[in-house]
Structure formats: structure tokens, C-alpha cells
Amino acid sequence: MQLLIGGLVALSAAGATAVAVQSSTDTVSPANRAQIEQIVRDYILEHPEILPQAMARLKEKQVSAVIQEKRSSIETPYHGAWEGAENGDVVLTEFFDYACGYCRASMPDIIKLLGEDKKLKVVYRELPILSEESGQAARVSLLAAKNGKYPVFHKALYDEGTVSRNTILAAAAKTGLDRKDVLAAMTDESYTSEIENNIRLAQALGASGTPTFVVGDQVLNGAVGYDALKEAIAKARADK
């Protein structure tokens, strides 16, 4: 019932026009309240299609509130885990897993956006939820970030294809990371707090999987494509 009421709030006061509006100093009488509730009930029964729309609107508002509350945590990268304009006017944050095929498929879209938009900053947040290997990859990725080699490793590992111990080592070698440091990083618990923080953020945002993008006050779940990302970036820029 609480959700239903929340949905009704998003409607355009469907029954309000059918009831005389009392002055702001008056209280609604039990009779009038019952009349209003009956009108709203009848309207919903006649137009049930508005409920999904209302609930979607309510969810958007809730997510927007979470983003505003946690924006600094979402948009502040772990060391060098970012690309683009250091002080970009719009930040696109991607929660991703190296073992996620949809994340790999989204990389060309990100590269294209960065090439076109010189005021865009892309922040990467590791969300290794698919396999043990993706957890290892995330830790080595964070090692690369600390060494100022994040973008190179990020692309190199995706280029290797399936995530495994061997492909992680191969990507790290191409990046110029020390092999001993890489092997140690795969099980280094010092990176756990960053990964756990990303998981908490993703949960708070209602992420349904990877990739999940955050830009402005919007969350986009899945490989939504270049056009949707570009539109969201434009909206975030216009809202400023």
C-alpha cells in the first residue's frame, strides 16, 4: 500500500479536480477524505496502465536522491582509475567486471565518447561479481591505477578476451607492470575495501548487474549503447 501511495504522488492529482478544494487552513473532513479516496481508486481501476509509469517515476526520484547523497564517492576515482578530462564538466562512472561480455562490448562506446567530448571524465569502478578471476583482474587493475597505468591495462586486458590468470599476466606484461607485483596483487587484501565500497555503492544505486553507468542524476543499467550514453551526458551537462 505504501508503494501504491508513492505511485499516486507521481500522478497529476487525478481526483483532486473532482472535489472542491478547501482553503489551506482547513482540514479534510472524513467524508471528503473518503470521497477523494474513492475517486482515486476508481481512476486507478479505469487506468491501471499509469501504475508502472508512476512507480518508474518514483524509482527515478529515489535513485536521484541516492546519487546526490553519494556523488563524491561515485565520481572520485581510485587513484588513476579514470580517463578523459581531469576536471571534466561531466563525469560518467562505469561499474564493470572484466569477465562481463557486455562491459567489453561497451568499451568502444566509451572510447568514441572520450574521443569526441574533451570535457568528459570517465571514472571506472571495479565490480568483480562474476568469477574468482574477475576479482583477481580487479586487484591487478587497481595496482595499475596506483602506478599510473590504468587506461593501458584496462584496454590490454579487454583485448586479451576471456579473463584468466594467463590473460591477466599477459595484459600486465604489455602494460609494463612488474610480474612479482602483479602476482602479489591478485590476492592482496589491501584492495578489498575499494571493491567492497564499489559493491555497496552499486547496491545503493539499484544496479542490476554490469555494466552500470552513472551520469548526472541518472543510472543506466546494461550495455545501453553509444547513443543512450551520449544523450545522458548531454542531459547532465544541460542540467548544470
Tens digit of each residue's pLDDT (9 = 90 or more) over 25-43: 356 787 788 888 888 888 8
The pLDDT value recorded for residue 240 is 84
Report the SS3 class of residue 60: helix
What letter would DSSP give residue 224? -
The pLDDT value recorded for residue 52 is 74
**What domain range is 144 assigned to?**
70-239
Same domain, 105 and 39: no
Is it the case that residue 10 has pLDDT exceeding 80?
no
Residue 101, in any domain of the structure: yes
Phi and psi angles of residue 86, each rounded to the nearest 5 degrees, phi first: -55, -40
Q: What is the CATH number of the domain that holds 149?
A: 3.40.30.10
Q: Amino acid identity, residue 129?
A: I
Same domain, 103 and 15: no
Residue 48 pLDDT level (bands cut at 50, 70, 90):
confident
Q: Residues with Cβ < 8 Å from 119, sequence gap 6 or more?
A: 85, 88, 89, 90, 237
The pLDDT value recorded for residue 18 is 39
Residue 208, in any domain of the structure: yes
Same domain, 85 and 34: no
Residue 53, in any domain of the structure: no
Residue 15 pLDDT level (bands cut at 50, 70, 90):
very low
Residue 57, in any domain of the structure: no
The pLDDT value recorded for residue 1 is 36
239 alpha carbon, distance to own chain's centre: 18
Is it the case that residue 227 has pLDDT exceeding 90?
yes
Same domain, 81 and 154: yes
Is it the case that residue 105 has pLDDT exceeding 80?
yes
The pLDDT value recorded for residue 53 is 74
pTM: 0.78
Same domain, 152 and 199: yes
Question: Is there a contact between 157 and 186 (Cβ–Cβ < 8 Å)?
Answer: no
- What's the CA gap between 168 and 165, in Å, rounded? 5
Residues 187-214: tens digit of each pLDDT: 999 999 999 999 999 999 999 899 999 9
The pLDDT value recorded for residue 27 is 67
Residue 38, in any domain of the structure: yes
Same domain, 126 and 214: yes
Same domain, 80 and 157: yes
Q: What average pLDDT does this structure show over 147-155?
A: 98
Is it the case that residue 5 has pLDDT exceeding 60?
no
Is it the case that residue 88 has pLDDT exceeding 80?
yes
- What's the CA gap between 52 and 186, in Å, rounded? 44
Question: Is there a contact between 107 and 100 (Cβ–Cβ < 8 Å)?
Answer: no
Report the SS3 class of residue 80: coil
Same domain, 109 and 146: yes
Same domain, 115 and 229: yes
For residue 83, give the H/E element and its range. Answer: strand 82-84
Residue 60, in any domain of the structure: no
Which of the two residues, 57 and 168, has the higher pLDDT score? 168
Same domain, 193 and 117: yes
Residue 194, in any domain of the structure: yes
Is it the case that residue 162 has pLDDT exceeding 60?
yes
Same domain, 28 and 114: no
Is it the case that residue 19 has pLDDT exceeding 60?
no
Same domain, 13 and 126: no
Residue 63, in any domain of the structure: no
Number of domains in the chain: 2
